[in-house]
Structure 1
């Protein structure tokens, strides 16, 4: 065979081999349709609930992941401090003394769990605008003790002041008494229906005792 023919045949054979290789690569890519391969999701590999746009983190209280029979419907919790939202407040009937007026300030557990109160409540007389009348009550000496309140149980603290008619102190008539449970910030508002209270001048102090079990003396 002439040298020219041999060269032409070799080139043609090489082209056929190259074309076959390219065809083989195309069929190994998958579906055979042109286009990029799908990208993984932006959240792939990220733990459930930890997405940057997740409203509730995976370790939040009340997670729907907690479905074990031991936790389903469980409502019992160890006793801890009573929160304002778990209590109601009331002022009991006046117990007049020698030149004094005495009232039990009662806190009642209205929640479904047992909780405790310890120490003194806070108290403040306020007018219709919510402004405090007089000074903060003074704490009488006492030995605080934890009072355990089951649902529906109560504790009380004594509130007293000198009768304004006897002491001569300047008075004002409150609209309400704000009662704050120990170690809490939010008060409970109790309508005040016992008339004028001392707010300034001699013998205008109001006193509070420690909380004890019950609704009054």
Structure 2
């Protein structure tokens, strides 16, 4: 048996203790004793407990201001062709539709060789609606065939007309007296009238005789809509 002195045994014990403490310290620091880096695994962390402070919440996005929302959603509608502008006051949902209107041709008001008729659109629905621009129009015979070209539009500045139930708007239909102008004529049975921005037409009986359909001074003109039933 090999004899080991007491001091030698004490030294060996001290060295072993230091080695164990070093190993524990390395583990406590999250380091692999073999020199490999720690592995990070994905997953959901459990909520912190004790005195640990929870991480600060991310800043919230700034709220939209009323002006931003209005500019993004405000609705805009374009006036009928030839109107020369866009109006933001009349949304498409407020427009008068053909089914909500009644059409009529008013009494002739001749002057200076001209025949002048008010074409009247009346709101027959139970809601308030709007008209903006020019109506469409075409003369037709008894079988529904169009007579002559479409009326031309007189220059004008369209405005949005608000019609409560029972209220009306009118546009002027004018042409030169055929007896004076010498234009070729035909006698229509009705005038088809299409409200602005609509596709379906209303029919109004025509009882005022011949209208010009071709030749010199045969053009028929239609003015922009105005409130009321006549000038």
* Shared fold, TM over 0.5: yes
1:121 aligns with 2:121: no
Secondary structure of the structure 2 residue equivalent to 1:166: helix
Larger radius of gyration: 2
Question: For residue 188 of structure 1, what is the aligned residue in structure 2?
Answer: 202
Distance in 2, matches of 1:212 and 1:81, equals 15
Provide the residue aligned with 2:29 in structure 1.
none
> Secondary structure in 2 aligned to 1:96?
coil
How many pairs does the alignment contain? 140
Pair 1:209-2:223 in alignment: yes
**Aligned with 2:120: secondary structure?**
strand
Q: Residue 116 of structure 2 aligns to a residue in which SS?
A: strand
Tell me the TM-score normalized by structure 2.
Answer: 0.60
Could you tell me which of 78, 82, 97 is aligned with 2:96? 82
User: Which residues of 2 match residues 59-208 of structure 1 at below 5 A?
Assistant: 80-208=94-222
Q: Distance in 1 between matches of 2:118 and 2:133?
A: 15
Counterparts of 1:134 and 1:80, CA distance in 2: 33
Shift of 1:128: 1.1
Q: Report Cα offsets for 1:80-137 as digits up to 9, x if no partner.
A: 1000000000000000010010000000000000000000000000001111101000
Return the alpha-carbon distance in structure 1 between the equivalents of residues 194 and 93 of structure 2: 20
Moved over 4 A (4+): none
TM-score (normalised: structure 1): 0.64
5+ residue gaps, structure 2, are 1-91
Distance (whole Å) between structure 2 residues aligned to residue 107 and residue 89 of structure 1: 5
User: Which consecutive unaligned segments of at least 5 residues does structure 1 have?
Assistant: 1-77
